[in-house]
Structure 1
Amino acid sequence: MRLVQYGIMLWMWVCISSCGGGGGGGGTVATTGSIRVVLTGLPDGALADVSLTAPGGATQPVQTTQTISNLSPGNYALAANAMMVANIQYLPQPTSQTISVVAGGHIEAVVRFQAANSLTLSLRKAMEGLDRPVYLTAPAGDSRLFIVEQGGLIRIIKNGVLLGVPFLDIQASVTSGGERGLLSMAFDPDFANTGQFYVYFTDLQGDIAIERYQVARDNADLAEIGSALRILSIKRDPAFTNHNGGLVLFGADGMLYVGTGDGGGAGDPAGHGQKLDTLLGKLLRIDVRNATVAEPYAIPPDNPFTLQAGKSPEIWAYGLRNPWRFAIDTADQLIFIADVGQHEREEVNVVTEGAAGLNYGWNITEGTRCYPNGDSCNTADQTLPVLEYDHGQGCSITGGLVYRGSKIPALQGHYFYSDFCRGWLKSFAYRDGVVEQITWPVENVGNIVSFGQDGQQELYVLSSKGGAIYQIVAN
C-alpha cells in the first residue's frame, strides 16, 4: 500500500511539474509558478526538516535552500520542524505557512531557524544488582518495569523496588551462558484484556524457542507457569552456541516479528543468511492472535514467500547475521535493524514496516563491504545499511530504540544505539536518510547489553557492569 501511495504521489509531482507547461518565449502564456524556499540560521551542511505539500496532498522534502519550479496554481503548505545539530536544538519560525502560487508567479518563502539551549543527557541509575539483565519492557501505560534476566527469570521493578518473587521463572527450561539464555519478552498488543506475553529463549537442546504465557488471574505481578504454549521452535546445529538473535516484538500491524541469528560459526558456514528454506539469519513475521496447541501461529497472507515452494513462509526479510536487537517505530512505521558484524563492520538498516522480502546481504556482504575479503560481489538485490561503522569505533553494535517519550521532546523520533565494547551512546533521526547524528557525552557505564522502553516510552540502557539499569534523562 505504501508503495502504491508513493507511486501516486510521485505521479502527482511529475504532473505538477510538467502537465501545465512551462511558459516563456514565443508569446506563450505561463501556466505555472515557482516557490523559492529560503532556509536560514542552520550551521553549514545541516539538512532541515521542512516539507512542501501540494494542493492534491503530495509532499516533497525541502532540506536546503532551493527553488521549486513548474508548480500548478494553488495553495501550498510549507511545514518546518525543530531539529538537532550536535546537541543544540534549532527552532523554526514560522513553523507553517501557506503559499499561494499563481500562473507566472515567483514567490519566496523564508524559514528562519534559531538556536535554542543546548541539550545534555545523562544516565540515571534505576536499579543495580540484577543477574545478567538483557532486556527491559512494560505494557503501554504501565508504571512497572519488567526485566529479563538471561538465566531464565523475569523480574519486576514496582515503585522503584525490585520485587522478591519473579514474575516468571523458566530457569529449568533454559540453556544459558554466552549468547544463550532467556533473551527477550513482548506483551500482547491487547495485553490489558488478554494478559498474554511472549518470550524468546534457547531451550535445553540449545534450539531457539518462542513461548506464550498468561498472567495469573489473581495476581498481576505473577505469570502462570503452567500456561506455557510453544509457538515456534527453530533447530540449530549443536556444534555452535552463538548467533541466536534474541528479540520478539509486535509491529503496528499486530504481527509478531522475530529476529534470528544465522546459527553461529564464523562467516555463516552453512550459508543460512541467504537460504530461504531455513528460519535462521532472518526477520520472521507470524500471526499469533489465535494461537492454539494445534495451530500455534498462522502465516500472514502478505508475507513475501507465502505459498512459494521451497521457501519458508514465515520469512519477512533475510540476509542477517545476528540481529540481537531491532526496533519498530509505530509512529513512523519504520523498522530499525542493528545487525552485529563479523570482522569489520557494524550496521543499521532502516526500512518501512511494509517492505517485505528484503535481502540485507549477509554473508555476501558485511555492511556495504563484500565479504570476506572486500572483493567485488553482486549487491543488486540487496538492501544496504543506512549507517555503518568499522571496528575502530567498536566491536558489536547494540541496537536500540526510537525515543517516543514526553520528557525529552527535542529527541522525538531519534533512534538511540550503542556498542557493547565501547559503551558510547549515539543517536540519529531518519528522514529518507540518516540526519542529526549525535554522540552524547555520557558517563561510561560499562558494556551496554541492550536498550529498553517503559510504559511511558522513556528509554533505558542495560549494563553488564553490576547488573545495572540506567534511564536516559535530560540534565
Structure 2
Amino acid sequence: MRKLRWCPLAITALLASLVAVPPAASAQQAAPAAPILDPIPEDPAPAGLGLVLEKVAQLPESETSAPPTDDRLKRRNRINHLGELPDRSGRLYVPDLNGKLYFLDKKTRTPSTYLDVGATFAPDFYSAAGLGQGFGFVAFHPDFAKNGTFYTTHVERGDALETEEPDLPEQPNTGYHGVLTEWTADDPSAGTFHGTHREVLRFGFSGRIHNLQQIDFNPNAGRGDADYGMLYIAVGDGGNGNVGANGGDPQNLAVPQGKILRIDPSGTNGVNGEYGVPADNPFVGEDGVLGEIYAYGMRDPHRFSWDTRGSKRLFLAHIGEHEIESIHEIEPGDNLGWSEREGAFTFREDDRCHLYPLPEDDEKYGYNYPLAAYDHDPPADWNCRSDVGKAISGGYVYRGAKLPALRGKYLFGDIVNGRLFYTEESQMRRDPAGRDRAQIYELSAYTTSGEPVTMQDMAGDERVDLRIGSDAKGEPYLLSKANGTIWKVVDTREFAECRTGPARVGHATGARDWSPVTPDKWRFEHGQVVLAEAGEARPGPRRPFEYAVLKKGPAFASAQIDAEVRLDTPVSESNRDVIVVFGYRDDTHFYYAHLSSDNTIYPHNGIFLVNGADRVRIDRQWNANRSKGAPPAVTDAGWHDVRVRHCAGTGEIAVHVDGADRPVFTALDTTLGSGRVGFGSFDNIGRLRDLTVRGTPAR
C-alpha cells in the first residue's frame, strides 16, 4: 500500500480542526510517546557453527582519485563484491571502488585487470569521499557469453557537474553524479576488455554517501519470463533524505532517490531513449510518478539478492540511521517507510538520537517491515550524531552443495566489525505489525588448520569493511577492503569441536567422589549430589561461595561434561544460580558456567574465569552497553540437561542447555588448559545427577 500524502488544503483543514478542539477533549489526549532506548532487545544468539576460511587471493593496492579526507577510505584497496561470470568460464570478477574491474583466473585465482573504469572516465571519475563513491558495482547480462554486455555504476564530479545533466530528477545542490553505463565486449572470452560503451542513466545526488548501490539481474528469470534481462538498480537517498531540501525524497515517487528501480536496458521508452520502462512495473502510468520505481522508502539499500533454488524471494539488506540494520523481502510497490520509519519504529526529524513506537493506526500505511534486524546498542557516552560503527553487509540464501550445514540460511554480516551472521530463510516472514522477526545467529570463523579467528584477525584491522559474494554454484566468499583479501568458505565446523576422550568418569555421586569447600553443607544421596545449604562469601577473590570438586578420575584437558542440574532455591527469589566448574586447578584458579534466572547483571548467566583475582566474565554473549546477556538458562525448579564442552587446545567453551543444538553461552579463552570438574553455587541451593565426564587426561 502506498503512503498517503497531504495536500495544502488538507493540512489547512486539519489545523482548523485542531484549533476547534474543546479544552477538555484536548486534555484527554494521550501523552507524547517516549523514546525507545533499546529498540531490539534480543541480540544475535550463538550459532554454535563456524565457517572455515581459505585465502583465495589478495588484490593489488589502489588509491582514491584524489587524497581522501576520510581515514576510512585509506584501505589496501576497496573491493566490494565478488561474483562469477555467467559464461561457464569459472572466472570470478571483483570490482574495486577506486576504479578497476578484476578477473580472477579459474584455476590459480590470480587477479588481472579486465577494465579500468576510473581511467575511462577520468578526470571526472571520483572516489575520494564517501564510503560508496567510485566504481560502485558491475552486473553481467545473463547472455554475456553471447552478447558481451555488462553494466557498471560509477560516480563523477568536476566538469561533469557543469557539462552533463541527470536524466531523472536530481536533488537540490547536486554535488555528485551517479552514472549507469552499458559496455559491450568485442570478445566475451577475452581477458581484457575491448569494445564500446554507452551511458544509460545519470543521477544527481546532493550528498557523498548513499549513491548508486547494487545493480543486478534476477537469476531466477529464464528466457521468456517477464523479468528476464530486466536490470534492478538500488538508489540511495543521497545521505540526507531525512532532512532539509531532500527530506522526504525516499517517500516521493517523483524522484529516484531512496528507491529500487527496475529498467529494461535494451528498451527505448525511458526519458532519454537509452533504456526502457517495463510495462509491468508497479507504478507505470500513474501521473507524477516515475515508472522506473519498483520499491521505495529506503535510506541505503546496500545489497539485494534472490533466493535461488528455494523460495525465489528477493531480499534486501538495508543500512539504517539511528539504530536498525535490517533485512527485508521486496515485492513490487513495497514501501520500507524511510524516513518516517526506521525498521519497525517511528523516526522523528526533531530527535536525532532516538526512535519511537509505531502509532496505533500504523497498519493502515502498509509499510514493509524487517524480516530480521539487529540494533546498534551504542555505549552510554556515544555521540548520537556520529557513526556508531555498525552497518549490515547483505548476502544471500545458501543453496549450494558443499556446505550442508548452511543450506536454507541467509548469510550476512556487519561491514564494520566483520561479525558473521545468518537467519533461517524459512523463519523470515512478513509481519505488518513489525514485531515478528526471525532470530539472528552469530557464526564463528576458523582457519583451515582449525584455529578460531575473527574477521578482524583475518583483515588485520578493527574495521574489516566486510563484503560477501558467491560463485555460480552458490559457494560463499568473504572480502575485506582493509587488506584487500578474498577468502572462500571451504567448510563448516561446530564451535568447540574437539576430541573429548578416551577417559570417561560416571557413577560419581558418593561422598568419597567429591571434595566440597564446606562438607557440612552437602549431601550425597539417591544418586544425587546435593548442595543443601547456601554458601557464604569467603576471603580472597570474588568467586563462587560454595562448590564441590570431583575427585574421581583424572584432571582433564579437553572435556565434555554432561549432567542434569536443578535449582532448589524457590522461584520467587531473585538471582537464583548453580554453577558447573571445569579447568579447576585450585580455589582461585578455575572456570565456571553460571546458570541463572537473571541475565541483567554482570556476574550472572554466563562463563567466568577465576585466575587469582575476582572472577572475570569471558562469554561472548554479554552486552556491556545494555547490561544484558544471553536469555536466562534456568527459570524454574525443574531438572535441566546441561552440557559443557571445553577444548583446551583452542580455548573454545560452549554451554548447551536441555539438548539444544545451539549453545546458550560461548567463550574463547586459553588461560587454563586443564583441571578438574565441579558443581556448586554462590548463595543458593541445588543438586546434580547423572554426571558423565569424557575427556583427555591432563599430562
- TM-score w.r.t. structure 1 length? 0.69
Contact kept, 8 Å, 2:326 with 2:374, in 1: the verdict is yes
Partner of 1:374 in structure 2?
355
Partner of 2:273 in structure 1?
295
Give the counterpart of 1:145 among 92, 100, 118: 92
Q: Indicate yes or no: 2:333 matched with 1:357.
A: yes
Which amino acid is the alignment partner of residue 51 of structure 2?
L
Q: Percent identity?
A: 30
Give the counterpart of 2:466 among 449, 470, 474: 449
Q: Indicate yes or no: 2:81 matched with 1:135.
A: yes
Change (3 A) 1:161 1:389: closer
Contact kept, 8 Å, 2:322 with 2:355, in 1: the verdict is no
Partner of 1:384 in structure 2?
369
Partner of 1:203 in structure 2?
156
Partner of 1:286 in structure 2?
263
Contact kept, 8 Å, 1:260 with 1:282, in 2: the verdict is yes
My pick for the range that moved more, 289-298 or 356-365, is: 289-298
Contact kept, 8 Å, 1:144 with 1:455, in 2: the verdict is no
Gap regions ≥5 residues in structure 2:
1-44, 61-76, 162-175, 222-226, 349-353, 379-388, 430-436, 446-452, 457-463, 493-699
Q: Say which SS state the counterpart of residue 405 (structure 2) adopts.
A: helix
Partner of 2:394 in structure 1?
399
Change (3 A) 1:449 1:203: farther
Q: Say which SS state the counterpart of residue 451 (structure 1) adopts.
A: strand
Give the counterpart of 1:307 among 274, 285, 288: 285
Contact kept, 8 Å, 2:371 with 2:438, in 1: the verdict is no
Change (3 A) 1:165 1:326: closer
My pick for the range that moved more, 174-183 or 334-343, is: 174-183
Partner of 1:324 in structure 2?
302
Residues in 1 aligned to 2:241 and 2:332: alpha-carbon distance in whole angstroms: 27
Q: 1:161 deviation in Å?
A: 4.0
Change (3 A) 1:139 1:404: farther
Partner of 2:324 in structure 1?
345
Contact kept, 8 Å, 1:267 with 1:342, in 2: the verdict is no
Q: 1:145 deviation in Å?
A: 1.2
Partner of 1:423 in structure 2?
418
Change (3 A) 1:306 1:218: closer
Gap regions ≥5 residues in structure 1:
1-84, 89-118
Q: Say which SS state the counterpart of residue 170 (structure 1) adopts.
A: helix
Contact kept, 8 Å, 1:133 with 1:148, in 2: the verdict is yes
My pick for the range that moved more, 306-315 or 444-453, is: 444-453
Q: 1:429 deviation in Å?
A: 2.0
Partner of 1:464 in structure 2?
481
Residues in 2 aligned to 1:322 and 1:303: alpha-carbon distance in whole angstroms: 21
Which amino acid is the alignment partner of residue 127 of structure 1?
A
Question: C-alpha root-mean-square deviation of aligned residues, in Å?
Answer: 2.5
Change (3 A) 1:313 1:258: same
Contact kept, 8 Å, 1:272 with 1:280, in 2: the verdict is yes
Q: How many residues align?
A: 355
Contact kept, 8 Å, 1:135 with 1:183, in 2: the verdict is no
Describe the superposition over 1:276-324 as per-residue Cα deviations: whole angstroms up to 9, x where unpaired.
0011100111112456997322111111110111000000000000011
Q: Say which SS state the counterpart of residue 250 (structure 2) adopts.
A: helix
Q: Say which SS state the counterpart of residue 134 (structure 1) adopts.
A: coil
Describe the superposition over 1:84-115 as per-residue Cα deviations: whole angstroms up to 9, x where unpaired.
x9757xxxxxxxxxxxxxxxxxxxxxxxxxxx
Partner of 1:104 in structure 2?
none
- TM-score w.r.t. structure 2 length? 0.48
My pick for the range that moved more, 435-444 or 317-326, is: 435-444
Q: Say which SS state the counterpart of residue 135 (structure 1) adopts.
A: coil
Q: Say which SS state the counterpart of residue 133 (structure 1) adopts.
A: coil
Contact kept, 8 Å, 2:241 with 2:249, in 1: the verdict is no
Residues in 1 aligned to 2:328 and 2:209: alpha-carbon distance in whole angstroms: 22
- Computing the radius of gyration from Cα coordinates, the structure with the larger value is 2
Partner of 1:263 in structure 2?
238
Q: Say which SS state the counterpart of residue 283 (structure 1) adopts.
A: strand
Describe the superposition over 1:138-162 as per-residue Cα deviations: whole angstroms up to 9, x where unpaired.
1233311111001111011102243
Residues in 1 aligned to 2:333 and 2:346: alpha-carbon distance in whole angstroms: 21
Contact kept, 8 Å, 1:245 with 1:322, in 2: the verdict is no
Partner of 1:64 in structure 2?
none
Partner of 2:252 in structure 1?
275
